[in-house]
Amino acid sequence: MSTQNPDPAAPGRGARPLRRRLLDEAARVLAEEGPGALSARRLVRAVGASTMAVYTHFGSMPELVREVMKEGVERFLARVREVPPDADPVRELAGLCRAYQEFARAEPHVYAVLFGGSALAGFELSETDRSMGVALLRFPRDAIRRCAGAGRFHADTDADLLVRQLFAQMHGLAQLTRAGYILGRYGPDDVLAGLLRDLAVAAGDNPTQATTSVRSGLAG
Amino acid sequence: MSTQNPDPAAPGRGARPLRRRLLDEAARVLAEEGPGALSARRLVRAVGASTMAVYTHFGSMPELVREVMKEGVERFLARVREVPPDADPVRELAGLCRAYQEFARAEPHVYAVLFGGSALAGFELSETDRSMGVALLRFPRDAIRRCAGAGRFHADTDADLLVRQLFAQMHGLAQLTRAGYILGRYGPDDVLAGLLRDLAVAAGDNPTQATTSVRSGLAG
DNA sequence: CCCCCGTCCATAACGCCGTTATGCCAATAA
DNA sequence: TTATTGGCATAACGGCGTTATGGACGGGGG
C-alpha cells in the first residue's frame, strides 16, 4: 500500500521533491511566524502547488505536522547527544539541562507542541510520540546514576523519581520563560542554576561543590 | 431562518443578559470540550443570537476569551486563598502547592491558556494578564519567608528566587501531567511530594521533618 | 405628542481555513 | 499499442472570525 517512491532521483538538478519542500516550508513558517501562520493553503501557495499536494503526500494537515515534529525531535536528540561526557557527573547533568533549555529557546513552537500541549492545526500527540519524548530522559537519568555512583548523591538516590522531578523543572522553566513569567530580579538562568543546585544538594551533594559544578556545567 | 424566539428556556423576567449567557456558554464549552470547540458561531447558536452579539458585547473573540480567563483567575485565587494558615509553614507551603495542582487539574484548559502559552481563538496574554498571574506568587513567597523565620529554612533563604523555582516546578508538573508524560512507576503525586521535599531539604529543612510536613500538607 | 437618536442585534457578505470528489495527464506495465 | 496507476489542478462544501448595513425599539427633548 505504501508507495514510497524509491526513485526520487528522476528530477535532475537541485529540484527537491514537493514533499520535502512542503516540510521545509512548514518548518520555516512555524519557526518564523508561529503556529497561527501555518496553514495548508499557505504552504501550497509558497511551493506553487494546489491543496491536493498536502493530501497526496501526507493525508491531512495533522499528519504533515507530525512529520515536522518528528524532525524536531531528532534535532532535540542530536543536541542532547552532543553534550560531552564529563568526569564530574553533576557538571554533565547541568550540561544536559543547558542543552534542554537551549533547544526550548531555539525552537519554541516545536517545543511547545512536543511538550506544552499546544494544539497545532489539529495535531495531537500520539502514544508513540510521547514515548519518543520520554526516551530523552535516558540521558539525565544515567547522569544521575553516575552522580550516585561517584558518591556525589546519596547511594540510595532514586534516579527514576529524580529524573521526573528534573523533567518537571526543565519543562516548567522553559514554558514560563517563553510565556514571559520569569521577570524581575531573577532571570531564567538564575532560576535554572538555583533549581539544579538545590536538586543536587537535596540529593546529598556538598553545597559548595554543587554550586561549582552546576555553574561550570551551565557555562559549558 | 433564525427563530424569532431566541431562547425557549429563558424565564421571561429576570433572564440572564445575553452577555452573561455567552460567557457562561464559553466557559462550559471550554471546560467540557476544550479550546478546539470554542467558536463565536457556536456560542451564538447556543444562546440563539447572531454573530453580532459577540461583537456588540466583546468587540472580538479574543476579548471574550479574556473575560473568560479573568473569571478563571478569580477561581484560581479563591482556591489559593482558602488554604488555611498553619503553624507549620512547610506544611502550609505544601497546601498551597496542592491547591495549585488541583486547579490545574480541575480546569486544564483555562490553566493552559493562563500559563501554558496555549493560544485560544487568537487570544494572547497581555502584560496585565501576566501580572495577575504573578500576584499568585505572593502566597507561596510569604510561606517561604515564614519557613525561614521559623528556622526551618536557612535564615538567608532568598524567597524571591525560591518562589520562582517553585513556580517552574509546579507549572512543569501540571503541564507534563496533563500531556501524559508522567507515567510509569511514579505518578504526579509522587513527583510533587519529591519536588517539595527536596526544595525544603535544599533550603535547610531537616529531611525527616520535611517529609512529614510535605506529606501532611499534600494530604490536607 | 412626536421625533430623534443611540443601543442592540439580525442579515448577509468577505476572505480565510481543512478537506474532498472529480478528472486530466504523464509515465509505466502489459 | 493500450491499460493502469500515481500525482496533482480545479472547484466545491461547510466552518471560521469579522464587518457593513439596516431594522427594531426605547428614552429624552422639542
Q: Would you say the C-beta of B35 is within 7 Å of strand D? A: no
pLDDT at residue B148 greater than cutoff 80: yes
Contact A160 B115 (CB under 8 A): no
How far is the C-alpha of B21 from the C-alpha of B205, rounded, in Å? Answer: 50
Residue listed under C-alpha cell 539541562: A97
The separation, in Å, between residue A122 CA and nucleotide D8 C1' comes to 24
Domains of chain B with bracketed CATH: 67-218 (1.10.357.10)
Determine the residue of chain A that is closest to B179 in CA distance.
Answer: A117
- Looking at the partner chain, which of A35, A195, A202 has a beta carbon nearest the beta carbon of B201? A202
- What are the DSSP calls for A139-195, one per residue? HHHHHHHHHHHTTSS-TT--HHHHHHHHHHHHHHHHHHHHHT---TT--HHHHHHHH
> How confident is residue A122, by pLDDT bands cut at 50, 70 and 90?
confident
> Residues of chain B with pLDDT > 90: what percent?
82
State the amino acid at position B7 in one-letter form: D
pLDDT of residue A133: 83
Cα torsion A133, B177, B171, B193 to 10°: value is -110
pLDDT of residue A9: 34
pLDDT at residue A11 greater than cutoff 70: no
pLDDT of residue A94: 98
State the amino acid at position A98 in one-letter form: R
pLDDT of residue A8: 36
> Residues of chain A with pLDDT > 90: what percent?
82
pLDDT at residue A165 greater than cutoff 60: yes
Protein-proximal nucleotides of chain C (any atom < 7 Å from a CB): 8-13, 16-22, 28
> Residues of chain A with pLDDT > 70: what percent?
94
Cell numbers linked to B107: 480546569
How far is the C-alpha of A103 from the C-alpha of B176, rounded, in Å? Answer: 17
> How confident is residue B116, by pLDDT bands cut at 50, 70 and 90?
confident
pLDDT of residue A220: 75
Contact B175 A115 (CB under 8 A): yes
pLDDT of residue A121: 78
What mean pLDDT do residues B85-101 have? 98
pLDDT of residue A124: 87
β-pair partners for A120: A123
pLDDT at residue B12 greater than cutoff 70: no
pLDDT at residue A34 greater than cutoff 70: yes
Cell numbers linked to A116: 506544552
Q: Would you say the C-beta of A49 is within 7 Å of strand D? A: yes
Determine the residue of chain A that is closest to B172 in CA distance.
Answer: A172
pLDDT at residue A81 greater than cutoff 50: yes
Chain B residues close to A201, C-beta within 8 Å: 201-202
Contact A181 B115 (CB under 8 A): yes
How far is the C-alpha of B176 from the C-alpha of A115, rounded, in Å? Answer: 7
The separation, in Å, between residue A13 CA and nucleotide D30 C1' comes to 83
Which residue in A56, A72, A164 sits closest to A118, CA to CA? A72
pLDDT at residue A181 greater than cutoff 90: yes
Query: Alpha-carbon torsion B49, B55, B57, B62, what sign?
Result: positive
pLDDT at residue B13 greater than cutoff 50: no
The separation, in Å, between residue A220 CA and nucleotide C15 C1' comes to 51
How far is the C-alpha of A75 from the C-alpha of A103, rounded, in Å? Answer: 8
β-pair partners for B120: B123
pLDDT at residue A4 greater than cutoff 90: no
- Separation of CA A174 from chain center: 10
Q: Would you say the C-beta of A30 is within 7 Å of strand D? A: no
**Residue B120, SS3 per DSSP:** strand
What mean pLDDT do residues B39-68 have? 97
Q: How many CB pairs under 8 A join A and B?
A: 147
- CA–CA distances in Å: residue B161 to residues A172, A189, B141: 15, 11, 9
Q: Would you say the C-beta of A38 is within 7 Å of strand C? A: yes
Question: Within window 80-139 on B, which residues have Cβ closer than 7 Å to strand D?
Answer: 121-122
pLDDT of residue A77: 95
* Lowest-confidence segment of B33-42, B47-56, B116-125 by average pLDDT: B116-125
Nucleotide nearest to A19 (CA to C1'): D7
> How confident is residue A13, by pLDDT bands cut at 50, 70 and 90?
very low
Q: Would you say the C-beta of B18 is within 7 Å of strand D? A: no
Chain A residues close to B186, C-beta within 8 Å: 160-161, 164
> How confident is residue A15, by pLDDT bands cut at 50, 70 and 90?
confident
Give yes or no for a contact between B23 and B68, defined as CB atoms under 8 angstroms apart.
yes
pLDDT at residue A141 greater than cutoff 90: yes
Chain B residues close to A172, C-beta within 8 Å: 167-173, 175
pLDDT of residue B220: 74
pLDDT of residue A3: 34
pLDDT of residue A151: 97
In Å, how far is B177's CA from the nearest CA of chain A? 9
- CA–CA distances in Å: residue B129 to residues A104, B133, B136, B174: 23, 7, 12, 20
Nucleotide nearest to B53 (CA to C1'): C9
Chain A residues close to B172, C-beta within 8 Å: 167-173, 175
Rg (CA), chain A: 21
Determine the residue of chain B that is closest to A34 in CA distance.
Answer: B119
Cell numbers linked to A2: 505504501
